[in-house]
Amino acid sequence: MKNKLFFFLTAAFLLNAAVCFPQKSKPKNIILLIGDGMGLNAVTSSVYYLDNSQFRRFPYTGLVVTRSADNLITDSGAGGTSYATGNRTKNQSVSVDTTGKPMLTVLDYAKSKGLATGLVVTNSITDATPAAFYAHVVKRTDQARIAEYLLEDKVDVIIGGGQSFFLPKQLNGSRKDDKNIIDSLKARGYKVVFSYDSLKTIPDKDRVAALMAKVEMPKAKERGFELGDLSSIALHRLSLNKKGFFVMIEGSQIDSYEHVNDFNSAFDEIKDFNTAVKTALDFAEKDKNTLVIVLADHETGGLSITGGNFKAPVVSWTTKVHSAAMIGVFAYGPGAELFTGIKDNYQIGRIMFRLFGKNIK
Ligand SMILES: [Zn+2]
């Protein structure tokens, strides 16, 4: 009888607790995937024309206003900063505020809490989007300075291009000083490699910097591996950390081909990005403790599908630069329900911070 009463009271308490204090789910890991310049019509082209397009797998979607602090039309520096720091800044700036003061990034914060961190991109690792997560500069073009921020031991898995910004001129680099940042990375314990094949051979315990191109990687079709392959290497390594991880994976070159209004090449990059989204979702489905967020930093090209048929689109472009169009955000996993409605870009950063346990103002 006593047992029965105990059971009853416990059950009543739990039921009451569940009703009054719904457990807000928080992820252990966050995978943030950014399709640079991937506006809603780029997403549309994926959904209409790509076998195995991943976007329908997301239960929660929303829209994001992409403006920067000083411009209706953002660049990737300010766009990346709003996601990385939870605050807007001026175009050209990378994770400094509008007065030039460094701002904490979600990657910095994850690292300080003992999580593993990673960045996987197909352009230079010193480009504005990845830089927003680990560097603090007023001018995004200062890529030599940005490279030096990787010596702060905040990123465990570095995969991208950009050798040139790590080496002085006499070693075929583009640095104006005589610093060899690759040697400095090695001195800090990184295994530095320059190809996909060598990346695959690095033992799990080592921190890795894979700088696989002088500046940007070749276009998707000529790379010989997919962003999904790079992502699964990163996810394997990062998931060995018991406390969790934060990783930003970027389809960097979608934007590059939109800038020259080359739809076929941009679509190849969207297709390549899709492999990374699949890798992330498959991982999260198994893990059950991982939030996957897919979005863009801004739209590029004013891309529109104006004709064609069910097999192929006819597209039109309205600009060779970025546009002010809202972009889509897609979320899966614990906390995904927070990414609905219309959000300002900096709110995305604030939600990620909050899910990791920190409130940003
Ligand atoms: Zn761009």
Q: In the structure encoding, which two tokens stand for residue 3, read together?
A: 């047992």
Burial class (CB in 10 A: 0-12, 13-18, 19+), 347: buried
Collapse the DSSP code of 149 into the 3-class scheme (helix H, G, I; strand E, B; otherwise coil) and give the result. helix
Task: State the catalytic residues.
Answer: 76
Query: Given this model, what pLDDT does residue 244 score?
Result: 98
Long-range contacts of residues 141-145, Cβ cutoff 8 Å, at least 24 apart:
141/92, 144/174, 144/175, 144/176, 144/177
What is the domain partition of the chain in residue ranges?
32-355
Give the helix/strand (H/E) hosting 307. strand 304-308
Confidence bin at 16 (pLDDT 50/70/90): very low
pLDDT at 24: 60
Residue 263 has pLDDT above 60, yes or no: yes
Residue range 32-355 in CATH 3.40.50.1220 = no
What value does the mean pLDDT of the chain take? Answer: 94
Q: Residue 361 has what pLDDT?
A: 81
Cα(256) to ligand 1 centroid in Å equals 6
What is the model's pLDDT at position 20?
41
Look at residue 8 in the predicted model and tell me its pLDDT: 52
pLDDT score at 19: 44
Mean pLDDT on 229-237: 98
Which pLDDT does position 17 carry in this prediction? Answer: 43
Q: 279 burial class (0-12, 13-18, 19+ CB within 10 angstroms)?
A: buried
pLDDT band at 5 (very low <50, low <70, confident <90, very high): low
Spacing, Cα 242 to ligand 1 middle (Å) = 36
Condensed to tens digits (0 to 9), the pLDDT of residues 156-167 reads 999 999 999 999
Q: Residue 11, exposed/middle/buried by CB under 10 A (0-12, 13-18, 19+)?
A: exposed
Torsional sign, CA 49, 50, 51, 57: negative
pLDDT digits 0-9 by tens, 144-154: 999 999 999 99
Q: Identify the H or E element spanning 230.
A: helix 227-238
* Both structure tokens of 164: 């040139």
CA of 253 to the centre of ligand 1 (A): 9
